[in-house]
Amino acid sequence: EGVVFDVPSVQAGPLTSSYTYHSPLPSALELNKREPCVLGVDEAGRGPVLGPMVYGICFCPLSKYDQVSKLGFVDSKTLKESHRESHFQLIQSNLENIAWSVRVLSPQDISWNMLKINKYNLNAQAHDTTIQLIQQVLAQGVNVTKIYIDTVGPPESYKTKLSNIFPGIDITVEKKADSKFPIVSAASICAKVTRDQVLKHWTFVEKGLKSSKIFGSGYPSDPNTMYWLKNNMDPVFGFPQVMRFSWSTCDNLLKKLAAPVIWPEEAPQGSITQLFEQEENKQEKPQSKLFMEMGLKCVSDF
């Protein structure tokens, strides 16, 4: 199954870890890297239970921003897939003035971070990804003087956080920035097209798995997504790694449809000094819950 058009930000093979893609710098900046630039940030796939979350940035010289704005970029969420792809191709055909980057956060990394003892929540992951992408652009010597960001959480506190990290840059954080600022709209298109293509050409890491790739939108409210979830779950092994296991949708389906499992509880471990205690001083170890439930007892002591 071949890719209909070239999306260089989509890697071949299974998505087993997060990665970043950067397009080349615009030729307009190769002549003068210190030319002031405007940069936009947006994401795709924050809410879905399936697939990656993708953060996108797009930037261009301020002197070219009016020209870029006239290309007609709008919020990717308002476009049909074919129109998003057309807008993406328009970006690709204007790389002399525009550059873009995406950070693809794998579902495994999202889940692992959210299920840690010290939870690394989605807002924190989103903030750190945005900061990382901006820092990488600045590290290339690009003179970013203006940033527009579609907000994650309260815009005021997010702006303060970013302004402390990037002093001297004029930062605007707003709700619906993807529908207000063309450079953010362009970033949203890069993020959304990348996510769409990653899912369309998903390679299951599970060997021998014959599972449908008709995922729907990935949102639990989508009937096609719920159909996929209910028909592609193994009762013992659960879901493939395209699933975000930290989502309550996944947890609820596993509790409802998966085979019940009783996990044995290990008895408390003694210290090394207890090995040398006198026999009469030894205390009987409490039995595990599994032993008590099954009526088992030890017949020898080591």
User: Using one digit for the tens of pLDDT, what is the confidence trace for 151-172?
Assistant: 887 899 999 999 999 999 999 9
pLDDT digits (tens, 9 = 90+) for 194-220: 999 999 999 999 887 878 889 999 998
Binding residues: 42-43, 150
For the cut 80, the answer to whether the pLDDT of residue 274 exceeds it is no
For the cut 90, the answer to whether the pLDDT of residue 252 exceeds it is yes
Cβ atoms of 64 and 163 closer than 8 Å: no
Query: What's the pTM?
Result: 0.84
What are the DSSP E strand ranges found in the chain? Answer: 19-22, 36-44, 53-61, 99-105, 143-150, 170-174
CATH fold of 19-200 reads: Nucleotidyltransferase; domain 5 (3.30.420)
Dihedral over Cα of 140, 187, 96, 143: its sign: negative
Domain limits of the chain? 19-200
For the cut 90, the answer to whether the pLDDT of residue 67 exceeds it is yes
Binding residues for a divalent metal cation: 42-43, 150
Q: How much is the mean pLDDT over the chain? A: 89
For the cut 60, the answer to whether the pLDDT of residue 4 exceeds it is no
For the cut 60, the answer to whether the pLDDT of residue 60 exceeds it is yes
Cβ atoms of 62 and 146 closer than 8 Å: yes
Residues 6+ apart with CB under 8 A from 56: 41, 42, 43, 44, 100, 101, 102, 187, 188, 189, 190, 191, 192, 194
pLDDT computed for residue 3 by the predictor: 41
Higher pLDDT, 49 or 152: 49
